[in-house]
Structure 1
Amino acid sequence: MTMKNKSLVNKLRMPIAAIAILAVVFAIPASRHAILDFFQLGGETTEVGVYYTCPMHPEIRLPQMGDCPICGMSLVEKSIGEDEEEQTGVVSVTTRQIQLSGVTVEPVAPRKLVREIDTYGTIDYDETRLGVVSAWVGGRIDDLYVDFTGVTVNKGHPLVHLYSPDLISTEKEFLLAKENLSRVERSGLHDAISSARELVNASKQRLLWWGLSEAQIDKIARNGKIEDHITIYAPQGGTVTHKEAYEGMYVKEGDELFHIADLSKVWLFADIYEEDIPFLYQDRPDDFYECPMHPEVTSDSPSMCPKCGMDLIRTNKSIQAEITARAFPGEVFKGTISFTDPFLNPETRTVRVRVNIDNPELKLKPDMYARVQIKLPVGELLAVPENAVLHSGKRKIVLVEEEPGKFRPQPVELGRMWVNDIEREESEHKTLVFKREAIRYHEIIAGLNEGERVVTSGNFLLGSESKLQGALAKMLGVSDANATPADAHIGHSHAKPVAVQKEDKKEKHQGHAGREQAGDKKEKAEERPSKLEFVEEKAFAAIIDAYYDMADKLAGDKYEGISALADSINAKASSPSIKKAVEPLRHAHHKKDIEKIRVDFEGLSDMLIAYVQKHKAGIKDLPLKAYCPMKDASWLQKSKDIANPYYGSAMYKCGVIQAWEK
């Protein structure tokens, strides 16, 4: 290279380096905004006294728009000093914040509500419609009129033609008794006539017991000819479900030949959890009493069935049961609850109910799996939608709209939960062909009046606003010595959790978030059983691997395979507390509701965390403990990369890794 070229390269080196540095800087959004703002060249300048924060993590404060580095949500605009503006408990929210949060309000009103129980069961025979055909007399089957299982017969249909020596001898006795009666009647001896008549009646009764009809016996008496065969007829109509009769076969008196089942009505047995039992036994208008074995026997008051002597059971036709089966998608069968077991299954903590179903087209088959939704009316109650309630430790909070844009946090006392407004559900979904989803409500015992307007959606995002946190704290009197941080906690604290320390200088640096978390943990600890039954788990590695797989599925918004993993944990675990905690997850394939499954997963997580805390010294690969401030719940992880099983894709990265307590 010539000296002239080297000189040219040296002159261009610095400008090229400067251009490269500027390109890299401008490729980073934050750096680009900072440079443009510095030279006042940005399209949007940051307003003085304004910052941007995450509704879920208020500790995040940035000078420009962007996404939250913790959960990825879009930051919202806030004014400096805004947190201190409210002193009365009523907080103003801008129209833009309301739009971003998707806030809707609804008046509090009495509603006709029902409790909906969604469970699975098995179709079975109606035991009151089962019949057994037996040989009334010993003999040989010469003709078989029903020669395979599954055929449908009507009442009175011939089944077998039976040759019977016993029948022949009895018929001979009957004819001899008739001849003897005729001779004695000519003698005029009354005692002899009476004895002869009794002998005729006894032999005739034996023929009737063996299946001969009055017409057949009269024919034998008229003709004096013995019938050496007897035909056995179907005592009821239905489907032949079992056959033991074969042509040429010898049978004894009492041998079972056929089983016949009337499938026009079937039963469904389903299990419901013990918390739903009170709804089954609640008094309702139009209750009446019915025999579980003879549904045609009813009464307005408790009594006994005149047919079988059983006590009549209280029931109500307003209790609806809708049955669906995978074999008939989109088709709904109607049924009524006719019987409830008087005892609980100690293993599943469920009680079995029996549902009577009309099956005129014989579509439902015994042993077929079916889904049943039971709707139990609970009366007219003052209630708010499920989403209107924010859970704050032991307190339940709703946001009341004072006027458009102004909201007041209000503690409420809840009664029965998970009930549905059927009238609203039907009106909103009557034009849809797919299965409608329930609209669930909480009963209000105290705290709200009819006509007040409450926030029914977007309240969680709205409730996370720090100024509402402050308003609630003032309203609940957190400064009072008896108030706990958990009581003043609307939604959850979203600051990074910190370990609880002793009363020393470190506590000052931890701030309110740490104290609040300590209050929540103390509250949780009080709710747990006082004594946990743990033994050393020799197969802990296999247990925790199955648990990891379960957490990964929930983080991916899936529940398929959860039951199999729970079965694996139950089989390998030795501790009674772990077995009890995993039991609900073994029925996840029946629930098919990922939110309910996540609740059960939280119980298992708490139990495994307690086990690891107690035995961590002997665990080779110690699991990581993760904490979700949104859910106020913890779980175990193998990796440091957060994968939230409680919210899945909605907040996949929401959470932090916590240190184990020493």
Structure 2
Amino acid sequence: MKMNSLQASQLAAALAVVALIGFGAGRYNGGAGGTATAVDAAGGRKPLYYYDPMLPNQKFDKPGKSPFMDMELVPKYADGGGSSSGPADAPAVTINPAAMQNLGVRIVAAHRDTLATLQEVTGTIAFNERNVAIVQARSGGFVQRGYSRAPGDLVPAGAPLADLLVPDWGGAQREYLAVRRTGDAALASAARQRLILLGMPSGLIDAVAKTGRMHDVTAVTTPIGGVIDTLDVRPGMTLAMGQPLARVVGLGSVWLDAAVPEARIGDVRPGARVTATLAAFPDEQFPGRVQAVLPTAQSDSRTVTVRVELANPGLRLRPGMFARVALGEGSRSALLIPSEAVIRTGKRTLVMLAAGDGRYQPAEVQIGRESGGQTEVLAGLAEGEKVVASGQFLLDSEASLTGIPVRPIGATAMSPKP
């Protein structure tokens, strides 16, 4: 392929630049290599590996010529320095303090302070399913009368739902009255027991015995006050013994189902205090306690339902209402660092320690709760140790590239330079 004069001149210039860089780097690294050899012999430092400055990702076990460029390989030491003399330091990345300032690196000391354990979540009011009454037909018969009830109606305890005509009661009541007239107490007791087995209420039996008249119609009533959840009784219906007629849920207390993030569910215990605030009553707080932590998590929201029972005087708390829920006991003392200083690698959690004089080392930590931009450190860090709060990812990348070992949990702290 033919090149014009402009292309030929550009190619020649590029080759000249490459040759100049290789020559300069060769001279610099050649001298550095000699210095490194002297330092190795005098100071006793052992390089971690050797590398080509033009291709720093390529590492070599022994010194010599680079297979890529015509230059000497440069040693890399554990303190982050190259071929420079000086005392051996703890393994760390060494960065010029002026360069770190230009990068906007911020260093913060780990300090002990109060960590808020109170967490605010949302929840909804629901029926208390422990306060439910199922109304059934105790005897087979016919619905003679309804009381215009409907699901959602609030009813007091003892409110009638329907009048039920029971034909089977007629003969049994006649037998009971006849036996009573004989004066035989044992037979009268057996006849009364038969009426009870037929589903006749005790009060109605007493009325038959007192008046001497038969009663084959009974009113089906609610045993508790609350809201009618379901109602399956209408005038003219034929009912069998034990057939469900209605479901009534009491409203004297309600459930508050709070959605707690699964990462914080370990802080919630049954019996913990809870305070709820509702938009309908913004100036009032409703206290309660955790009744149960449900055993399943919501896959879509990654939350766990915490069930709280609230008293409901005046029936003001209605199922379906939205509430803000405060869980916890306030705050406690903890060792804290900024949350932005934490590096999560997937396998472990790290921070970049600052030991002074531009030296930095990664350290593994065990973290706990996070609140207000602060993260609790459970292990791996001592109070007063300084960590990098911004720009730590650049330092962590450099440490990984140069093979700086991570300080494990439980190891001694780096000794800062004066």
Q: What's the counterpart of residue 291 of structure 2?
A: 338
Q: Does 1:245 align with 2:238?
A: no
Summarize the Cα distance change of 1:271–1:113 in structure 2 as closer, same or farther, 3 Å threshold: closer
- In 2, are the aligned partners of 1:333 and 1:357 still within 8 Å (CA)? no
Structure of higher CA gyration radius: 2
Give the equivalent residue in structure 2 for 1:382: 335
CA distance in 2, matches of 1:250, 1:91: 90
Kept after mapping to 2: 8 A contact 1:323/1:334: no
* C-alpha separation in 2, matches of 1:177 and 1:416: 82
**CA-CA distance at 1:349 after TM superposition:** 11
From 335, 352, 358, the equivalent of 2:310 is 358
Q: How far apart, CA to CA, are the structure 2 residues paired with 1:271 and 1:452?
A: 33
1:262 aligned to which of 243, 246, 250: 250
* Distance in structure 1 (CA, Å) of the matches to 2:132 and 2:287: 22
Residue among 336, 343, 350 paired with 1:396: 350
Q: When you count helix as a share of all residues, which structure comes out higher?
A: 1
Query: Bigger shift: 387-396 or 167-176?
Result: 387-396
Equivalent residue, structure 1, for 2:159? 157
Structure 1 pair 328–127 and aligned structure 2 pair: CA distance change class (3 A):
same
Compute the displacement of 1:151 (Å). Answer: 0.9
Structure-2 separation of matches of 1:410 and 1:322: 46
Call closer, same or farther: CA 1:408–1:111 in 2, change over 3 Å.
Answer: farther
Q: What corresponds to 1:15 in structure 2? A: none
Cα 1:392/1:142, change in 2 over 3 Å:
closer
- Verify the 8 A CA contact 1:162 1:232 in the aligned structure 2: yes
Match of 2:190 in 1: 199
Residues 197-241 of structure 1, C-alpha deviation per residue, up to 9 Å, x if partnerless?
44244135337x43342xx43332122122232122211111011
The answer to whether the aligner puts 1:127 opposite 2:78 as a matched pair is no
Distance 2:144 2:171 in 1: 19
Instruction: Report the TM-score, using the length of structure 2 for normalisation.
Output: 0.57
**Equivalent-residue separation in structure 2 for 1:243 and 1:316 (angstroms):** 35
Deviates more, 1:316-325 or 1:197-206: 316-325
Amino acid at match of 1:252: A
Provide the C-alpha distance between the structure 2 equivalents of 1:349 and 1:177, rounded to a whole number of angstroms.
69
Counterpart code for 1:137: S
Candidates 346, 357, 366, aligned match of 1:415: 366
Deviations 1:432-480 (A, max 9, x none): xxxxxx444132412x32244556xxx324x478xx789x85xx994xx
Higher strand share: 2
State percent identity of aligned pairs.
22
Contact 1:321/1:375 (<8 A) preserved = no
Distance 1:408 1:322 in 2: 50
**What is the identity, as a one-letter code, of the residue corresponding to 2:366?**
G
Q: Which amino acid aligns with 2:292?
A: F
CA contact (8 A) 2:169 2:195 kept: no
Give, in angstroms, the shift of residue 254 of structure 1: 1.8
Secondary structure, aligned partner of 2:390: helix
Tell me, yes or no, if the aligned pair for 2:339 and 2:370 is still in contact at 8 Å: no
1:334–1:357 Cα contact (<8 Å) kept: no
CA separation in 2, counterparts of 1:86 and 1:116? 54
Are residues 247 and 197 of structure 1, via their aligned partners in 2, closer, same or farther at CA, if it must alter by over 3 Å? closer
- How far apart in 2 are the matches of 1:329 and 1:407? 54
Output one character per residue of 1:509-555: Cα deviation in whole Å (capped at 9) or x when no partner.
xxxxxxxxxxxxxxxxxxxxxxxxxxxxxxxxxxxxxxxxxxxxxxx
What is the Cα deviation at residue 171 of structure 1? 2.4
Secondary structure at 1:409 match in 2: strand
Separation in structure 2 between the aligned mates of residue 414 and residue 398 of structure 1, nearest angstrom: 10
Tell me the SS of whatever aligns to 1:128: coil
Q: Is the 8 A contact 1:126 1:266 kept in 2?
A: yes
Contact 1:171 1:226 in 2 (8 A): yes
Distance 1:220 1:107, change over 3 A: same
* Aligned residues of 1:341 and 1:351 also touching (Cα < 8 A): no
Distance 2:116 2:351 in 1: 21
Give the whole-Å Cα distance in 1 for the aligned partners of 2:387 and 2:142.
81
SS of 1:241's partner is strand
- Deviation of residue 150 (structure 1)? 1.0
Match of 1:172 in 2: 174
- Whether contact under 8 Å (2:352, 2:396) holds in the other structure is no
State the structure with bigger RCO (CA 8 A, min sep 6), 1 or 2. 2
1:217 maps onto 2:169 in alignment: no
TM-fit CA distance, 1:392 = 7.2
Of 210, 226, 234 in structure 1, the residue corresponding to residue 214 of structure 2 is 226
Alpha-carbon spacing, 1:86–1:161, altered in 2? closer, same or farther (3 Å): farther
Checking the alignment, whether the CA contact within 8 Å between 2:349 and 2:365 is kept in structure 1 is no
The count of corresponding residues between Structure 1 and Structure 2 is: 317
Please give the secondary structure, in 2, of the residue aligned with 1:127: coil
